[in-house]
Amino acid sequence: MWNYLLQKSLEELNVSLHIPVVDNFQQTVAKKTYHISFYNPPPYITLRPHAMKSVDFNKCEFKNCRLVHNEVDTRFSDAVIFDGRFLGTKAVLKAPVRPPGQVWIFAAHECPVEYKVPGTKWMQPPWMSSFNWTMTYDNTNSDIFLPYGEIRKHPEGHNNNRNFTEIALKKTDGALIVVSHCWTDGKREVYLKELKKYFPIKVLGKCGDKWNCGHQYTHDDCFDILNTTYKFYLAFENGLCREYYSEKLFENYNYDVLFITRGGFKNDSLTRFPKGSHISTDQFKSAKALGEYMTRIANDPSLLARLLKDKSQYYGVGYEETYPRAMCQMCKMLNNQYLFRRRIPAIGTWAYSSNPCRKPDDLN
């Protein structure tokens, strides 16, 4: 009896403080099947069928979950995922009926500077205080970690004996960037304009020359030009927000091209990604300094070959790896709700109170 009362007290304390409590009580694995609905999945997921199909709970620690990517089964689900920033739009005009005990998850794929683009209904009643957990790319303040991808080191014995000098000599053009947001909080367009003074850059997409190849949100053979033509690919994000690195980096990483990142907090990429895997704008005090460095590499095939070989020690993975892992984590939490039970009183406070984005300091 005393053990029971102690456990209930710990759980009540957990709810009031929003802090998971780890105790020594024996974990009981639920025999039921937990159903998860993604109410309004964004195109980043629906147009990546390989990621959707890769979710196999039989490969998880807890195997008793099922996932659907639509609103049909919401009333019968144990958890519902919402793409938070689109709440209140035509896709989700009002909150669905919520059965007792159902867990609601606020999911976000864009960085916080983009959360208000469709509107701010998600920061207003009834949505603002309706969520229990969060799922984003930011591991510092999310319950469920879903990054766009990861950079990993190849295992020992990986074949790294390709002729990188030959690869470097075949490259004919400078740098490529593909962008669809032309005016950004991170002033990407301003930085690009300055960088183009010192190094040739091809801009494709809505903000540059029309690219008649492929479809938006879909990674396909169009990007093979990174293997054959360009020496650099610019993975510049629309916002400089903590840990925000998108598919621009991860889905294109495995091509024979040098990657230059601009995103995250200052020096985020230098601590998050392995040395030699990329070049960061944070390493340079100005676009001019970066442009001069790129010119030196471009004019020295042996240096370009060496840097390409260093980069080839690593490889990138995308949603097909990180999305199933996030779903496994969600399933584990559903099976242990007494450890993770909470309600977020104001989702807007969660989103912005930690000042997750910075203003650019590299535009001089």
Residue 17 pLDDT greater than 50, yes or no = no
Please state, in angstroms and rounded to a whole number, the distance separating the CA atoms of residues 326 and 193. 38
**Direct distance between the N- and C-terminal alpha carbons of the chain, in angstroms, rounded to an integer:** 68
Residue 107 pLDDT greater than 60, yes or no = yes
- The residue-averaged pLDDT of 310-319 equals 94
pLDDT of residue 214: 61
Of 151, 82, 147, 80, nearest in space to 111 by CA:
147
Tell me, what amino acid is at 54?
S
pLDDT > 70: percent of the chain: 89
What's the Cα-to-Cα distance from 43 to each of 109, 112, 211, rounded to whole Å?
Answer: 10, 18, 19
- Residue 101 token pair: 């005990």
Tell me, what amino acid is at 116?
K
Question: Confidence class of residue 324 from pLDDT cuts 50, 70 and 90?
Answer: very high
> Domains of the chain by range and CATH?
10-148+320-352 (3.40.50), 150-317 (3.40.50.11660)
Residue linked to tokens 């690593």: 314
Write out the E strands in 69-193: 79-83, 103-107, 133-136, 144-145, 150-153, 173-178
For 217, left (φ over 0), alpha (ψ -120 to 50), or beta? left
Please state, in angstroms and rounded to a whole number, the distance separating the CA atoms of residues 101 and 76. 11
Residue 169 pLDDT greater than 70, yes or no = yes
- The residue-averaged pLDDT of 224-241 equals 95
pLDDT of residue 220: 64
pLDDT > 90: percent of the chain: 70
Strands 133-136 and 103-107: parallel
Residue 356 pLDDT greater than 50, yes or no = yes
Instruction: Specify the range with the lowest mean pLDDT, choosing from 2-11, 61-70, 241-250, 253-262.
Output: 2-11
Question: Confidence class of residue 219 from pLDDT cuts 50, 70 and 90?
Answer: low
Residue 7 pLDDT greater than 50, yes or no = no
- The residue-averaged pLDDT of 305-331 equals 95
pLDDT of residue 9: 45
Please state, in angstroms and rounded to a whole number, the distance separating the CA atoms of residues 167 and 5. 68
- The residue-averaged pLDDT of 273-278 equals 95
Please state, in angstroms and rounded to a whole number, the distance separating the CA atoms of residues 340 and 363. 43
Residue 3 pLDDT greater than 60, yes or no = no
Of 319, 211, 188, nearest in space to 261 by CA:
188
- The residue-averaged pLDDT of 195-218 equals 84
DSSP assignment of 208-258: SB---SS-TT---GGGGHHHHTEEEEEEE-SS-BTT---HHHHTTTTSSSE
Residue 140 pLDDT greater than 90, yes or no = yes
Mean pLDDT value across the chain:
88
Residue 32 pLDDT greater than 80, yes or no = yes
Question: Confidence class of residue 27 from pLDDT cuts 50, 70 and 90?
Answer: very low
Please state, in angstroms and rounded to a whole number, the distance separating the CA atoms of residues 183 and 181. 6
Question: Confidence class of residue 217 from pLDDT cuts 50, 70 and 90?
Answer: low
DSSP 3-state assignment of 7?
Answer: helix
DSSP 3-state assignment of 144?
Answer: strand
- The residue-averaged pLDDT of 13-24 equals 42
Write out the E strands in 30-132: 34-38, 65-68, 79-83, 103-107
Residue 5 pLDDT greater than 50, yes or no = no
Q: pLDDT higher for 45 or 361?
A: 361
Please state, in angstroms and rounded to a whole number, the distance separating the CA atoms of residues 260 and 277. 10
Residue 11 pLDDT greater than 50, yes or no = no
pLDDT of residue 273: 96
Instruction: Specify the range with the lowest mean pLDDT, choosing from 13-22, 83-92, 148-157, 322-331.
Output: 13-22
Residue 130 pLDDT greater than 60, yes or no = yes
DSSP assignment of 37-51: EESS--HHHHT-HHH
Write out the E strands in the chain: 34-38, 65-68, 79-83, 103-107, 133-136, 144-145, 150-153, 173-178, 201-204, 230-236, 258-262, 279-280, 314-317
- The residue-averaged pLDDT of 255-276 equals 96
pLDDT tens string 77-101: 999 999 998 887 877 777 888 999 9
pTM of the prediction?
0.87
Residue 18 pLDDT greater than 60, yes or no = no
